């Protein structure tokens, strides 16, 4: 579905991503794991053009579209982003809008959908993440886990081909983490294509089809989840898994 080729990114003299090649197919759930500072967030930010790469290309297989990650125009960036939804650590909801309003916003403004139609769609997505009874609440009136599920519903409502999640549970208490991970797990079972950066190894093990392990800005190992955890081929991966008690 998506390929990245030769992605490089530095901040001043700090080389954060070093010649990354990466591919994701439709229906795959890829967990990106690795030590703090290894470049995971930067990878998602470059992929979604929130950060400008120094070099690299992104290819959308289905359409043959190919974009330069350094010099893509605003119009090109918009067309890549139409394929993607984002879920951030910090939810990023509009405080002055209800859960329903947050999920309708992009449909009405970016997709020019009629209000009634947008509302139907937003309601369906909030139901999917288990928030039928919280649609008319504002973010302040929702728990962290509920806010994050609104953020997931908002991403889903735009029908993206790929959803990028950057540590969706890191700001949450353990019991709220469970409800968000359950939601992501459900989406995975339904075949939603996702890249999830996570520190939750047991979740990665069970929900992801593939694991990408990044260290020092390089993909050290990229493999099927089962093989990755049972029989990692790289010494650096084994060390990381030992350190994290996996």
Q: Applying CB under 5 A, which residues contact Mg ion?
A: 41
CB of 88 to Mg ion, least distance (A): 10
CB 134 within 8 A of CB 87: no
Burial degree of 64 (CB within 10 A; 0-12, 13-18, 19+): exposed
CB of 119 to ligand ATP, least distance (A): 35
Closer residue to Mg ion in complex, CB, 119/215: 215
From Mg ion, ligand ATP, none, interface partner of 36 (C-beta below 5 to 8 A by class): ligand ATP
Total residues in contact with ligand ATP, by rule CB under 6 A: 11
Stretch that binds ligand ATP, among 20-28, 34-42, 113-121, 231-239 (CB under 6 A): 34-42
Closer residue to ligand ATP in complex, CB, 9/134: 9
Q: Which two tokens stand for residue 109?
A: 């403004």
Q: Does 231 bind ligand ATP (CB under 6 A)?
A: no
Beta bridge partners of 24: 2
For CA atoms 135, 50, 48, 30, give the dihedral sign.
negative
How many Cβ atoms are within 10 Å of 50's Cβ, its own excluded?
Answer: 15
- From CA 6, how far away is CA 69, in angstroms rounded? 10
Closer residue to ligand ATP in complex, CB, 38/192: 38
- From CA 105, how far away is CA 107, in angstroms rounded? 6
- Nearest C-alpha neighbor of 165 from the set 185, 146, 144, 137: 185
Q: Binding marks (x or -) toward ligand ATP, 37..66, rule CB under 6 A? A: xxxxxx------------------------
For CA atoms 16, 185, 232, 6, give the dihedral sign.
negative
Taking CB under 6 A as the criterion, which residues in 198-217 touch ligand ATP? none
CB of 175 to Mg ion, least distance (A): 23
Closer residue to ligand ATP in complex, CB, 36/231: 36
Closer residue to ligand ATP in complex, CB, 42/193: 42
**Contacts with ligand ATP, residue ranges (CB under 6 A):** 11, 14, 16, 34, 36-42
């Amino acid at each position: 579905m998506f390929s990245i080729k030769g992605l490089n990114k530095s901040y001043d003299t700090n080389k954060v991503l070093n010649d990354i090649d990466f591919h994701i197919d439709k229906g795959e759930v890829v967990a990106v794991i690795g030590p703090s500072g290894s470049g995971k967030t930067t990878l998602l930010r470059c992929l979604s053009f929130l950060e400008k790469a120094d070099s690299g290309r992104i290819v959308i297989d289905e359409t043959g579209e190919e974009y330069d990650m350094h010099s893509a125009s605003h119009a090109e960036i918009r067309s890549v982003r139409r394929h993607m939804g984002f879920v951030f650590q910090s939810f990023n909801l509009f405080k002055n809008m209800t859960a329903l309003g947050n999920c309708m916003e992009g449909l009405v403004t970016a997709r020019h959908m009629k209000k009634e139609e947008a509302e139907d769609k937003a309601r369906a997505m909030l139901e999917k993440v288990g928030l039928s009874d919280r649609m008319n609440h504002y973010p302040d009136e929702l728990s962290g886990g509920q806010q994050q599920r609104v953020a997931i519903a908002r991403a889903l409502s735009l029908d993206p081909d790929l959803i990028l999640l950057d540590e969706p549970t890191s700001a949450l208490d353990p019991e709220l983490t469970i409800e968000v991970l359950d939601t992501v797990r459900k989406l995975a079972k339904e075949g939603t294509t996702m890249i999830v950066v996570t520190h939750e190894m047991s979740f990665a093990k069970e929900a992801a089809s593939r694991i990408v392990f990044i260290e020092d800005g390089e993909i050290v190992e990229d493999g099927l989840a089962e093989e990755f955890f049972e029989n990692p081929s790289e010494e650096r991966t084994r060390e990381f898994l030992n350190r994290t008690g996996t």
